[in-house]
């Protein structure tokens, strides 16, 4: 870790990213960190666990918690996911609330405001997806509405997709953080292991390549993650868990085509992450109604 100038104020802290499903929280984190540490897809509820990402800027270090979307959960599994997000809010120094400005959802906004109210945390609002807004008057009205929220330190319109005003958002977050030491070395971008990220990348491909209930009924566990002595090869064995036999048929596909595509696309990204040649073996297993099974939910890391 590079030594800090003792005469220079250093700011640091933990920032929880919260918002409705599909508001662009994970895309924003990846943009800020400069590397993919959290998986993304166009489907809501892609993020299921708390993901840590570290942002390094001159004189500051911001440690982010990317969280699952906050929504009205109707079952044990989704309640567990929302609970993960709310627990991360309780542990933060600052809250970054991400709002989909292109498709305002008053009900989702009120639910988010209700869940974070009374936590006595300073809040910075990111109005995301401004690249999709043609009517700027509507954006100004939204800025005014959120600025009136209790505890709001700043409202910053951004586009996580193209990077518009993302650095301005980071500056607003740093301004709201207390003085403190760096918590991670300068080269650290996340505390997640490569094994964990590999499982998440496989699950991301399921979300992107399959439809209907299949993504939500899937979980991925890595049974083996072996690195060769010279570090140039990685062998991974992973299992895709599903709830019904019909889902298994969809994931495997005709002649195994879908499973092969999931494996191929995941392998390429795992190779980018590890810098090694990857051999990836995927298995598919049906565990009936695992999302209703408390032990299975815990075993799969949720």
Task: Please choose, from the candidates 17, 26, 20, 18, the residue with its C-alpha nearest in 3D space to the C-alpha of residue 207.
Answer: 26
Query: What confidence score (pLDDT) does residue 1 get?
Result: 44
Q: What is the mean pLDDT of the chain?
A: 91
CA–CA dist 263, 257 (Å, integer): 10
User: Helix axis angle, 76-90 relative to 106-116, nearest 10°?
Assistant: 60
Judge whether 74 and 81 are in contact, CB under 8 Å: no
Judge whether 48 and 68 are in contact, CB under 8 Å: yes
pLDDT bin (cut points 50, 70, 90) of residue 170 is very high
pLDDT bin (cut points 50, 70, 90) of residue 302 is confident
Query: What confidence score (pLDDT) does residue 53 get?
Result: 96
pLDDT tens figures, 31-44: 999 999 998 888 88
pLDDT tens figures, 109-156: 788 788 777 677 899 999 999 999 988 888 898 899 888 877 789 999
β-pair type (11-19, 123-128): unpaired
Query: What confidence score (pLDDT) does residue 267 get?
Result: 98
pLDDT over 50 at 50, yes or no: yes
Model pTM? Answer: 0.88
pLDDT over 90 at 63, yes or no: yes
Q: What are phi and psi of 9, to 5 degrees?
A: -70, 130
CATH numeric code, 194-299 = 3.30.300.20
The CATH number, out of the four listed (3.40.50.300, 3.40.1280.10, 3.40.47.10, 3.90.25.10), of the domain defined by the range 11-176:
3.40.50.300
Judge whether 130 and 155 are in contact, CB under 8 Å: no
Task: Please choose, from the candidates 142, 63, 41, the residue with its C-alpha nearest in 3D space to the C-alpha of residue 100.
Answer: 142
CA–CA dist 147, 197 (Å, integer): 36
Query: What confidence score (pLDDT) does residue 163 get?
Result: 95
Q: Where are the domains of the chain?
A: 11-176, 194-299
Judge whether 60 and 102 are in contact, CB under 8 Å: no
């Amino acid at each position: 870790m590079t030594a800090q100038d003792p005469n220079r104020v250093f700011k640091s802290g933990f920032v929880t990213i919260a918002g409705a499903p599909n508001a662009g929280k994970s895309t924003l984190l990846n943009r800020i960190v400069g590397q993919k540490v959290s998986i993304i897809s166009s489907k809501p509820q892609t993020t299921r666990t708390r993901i840590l990402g570290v942002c390094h800027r001159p004189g500051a270090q911001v440690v982010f918690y990317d969280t699952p979307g906050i929504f009205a959960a109707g079952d044990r599994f989704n309640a567990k996911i929302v609970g993960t997000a709310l627990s991360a809010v309780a542990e933060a120094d600052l809250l970054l609330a991400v709002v989909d400005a292109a498709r305002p959802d008053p009900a989702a906004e009120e639910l988010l405001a209700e869940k974070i109210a009374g936590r006595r945390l300073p809040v910075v609002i990111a109005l995301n997806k401004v690249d999709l807004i043609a009517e700027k008057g509507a954006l100004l009205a939204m800025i005014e509405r959120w600025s009136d929220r209790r505890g709001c330190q700043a409202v910053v319109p951004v586009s996580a997709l193209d990077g518009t005003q993302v650095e301005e958002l980071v500056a607003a977050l740093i301004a709201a953080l207390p003085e403190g030491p760096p918590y991670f070395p300068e080269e650290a971008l996340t505390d997640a292991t490569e094994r964990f990220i590999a499982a998440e990348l496989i699950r991301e491909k399921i979300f992107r390549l399959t439809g209907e209930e299949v993504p939500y009924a899937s979980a991925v566990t890595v049974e083996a993650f072996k690195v060769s002595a010279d570090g140039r090869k990685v062998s991974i064995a992973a299992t895709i868990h599903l709830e019904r036999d019909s889902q298994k048929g969809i994931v495997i596909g005709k002649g195994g085509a879908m499973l092969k595509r999931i494996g191929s696309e995941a392998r390429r990204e795992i190779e980018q992450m590890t810098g090694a040649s990857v051999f990836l073996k995927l298995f598919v297993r049906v565990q009936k109604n695992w999302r209703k099974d408390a032990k299975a939910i815990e075993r799969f890391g949720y």
